[in-house]
């Protein structure tokens, strides 16, 4: 079993229940397609400008989480035709935050969860 943690963005914490991020995990789809048995173990909310993200990831690691995912909405935009790989996601600092989390924890850090844009290649910092 792969123990997954999700760090979401405060910008949509009151409008998104993470269904699109969690549901694909059960079917080993989208950003979870390469896992044998992914299990959600925890969710945290990052506060802008991201100063708390390393601390949150450290807590996740101490609790046994093995992989940290950042939701697709942080780097892509929802359009009439679905999600698109174009500017407009919630976080303009995602690459830096992913690198900082990996450097602090040593854990693989993944950009993406569910509803990936067509043709998107999942980025993993490890």
State the Rg of the chain over Cα: 13
> pLDDT for 3-25, tens place per residue?
999 999 999 999 999 999 999 99
Tens of pLDDT, residue by residue over 60-91, are 999 999 999 999 999 999 888 889 887 789 99
Characterize 25-57 residue by residue with b for buried, 16 or more Cβ atoms within 10 angstroms of its Cβ, and e for exposed. beeeebbbeeeeebebbbbbebeeebeebbebb
SS3 14: coil
What pTM was computed for the model?
0.95
109 DSSP β-pair partners: 68, 125
């Amino acid at each position: 079993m792969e123990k997954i943690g999700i760090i979401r963005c405060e910008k949509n914490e009151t409008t998104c229940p993470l269904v699109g991020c969690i549901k694909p995990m059960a079917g080993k789809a989208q950003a979870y397609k390469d896992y044998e048995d992914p299990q959600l173990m925890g969710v945290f909310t990052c506060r802008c400008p991201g100063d708390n993200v390393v601390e949150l990831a450290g807590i996740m690691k101490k609790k046994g989480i093995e992989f940290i995912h950042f939701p697709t909405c942080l780097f892509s935009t929802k359009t009439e035709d679905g999600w698109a790989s174009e500017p407009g996601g919630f976080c303009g600092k995602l690459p830096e935050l992913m690198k900082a989390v990996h450097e602090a924890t040593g854990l693989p850090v993944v950009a993406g969860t569910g509803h990936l844009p067509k043709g998107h290649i999942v980025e993993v910092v490890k």
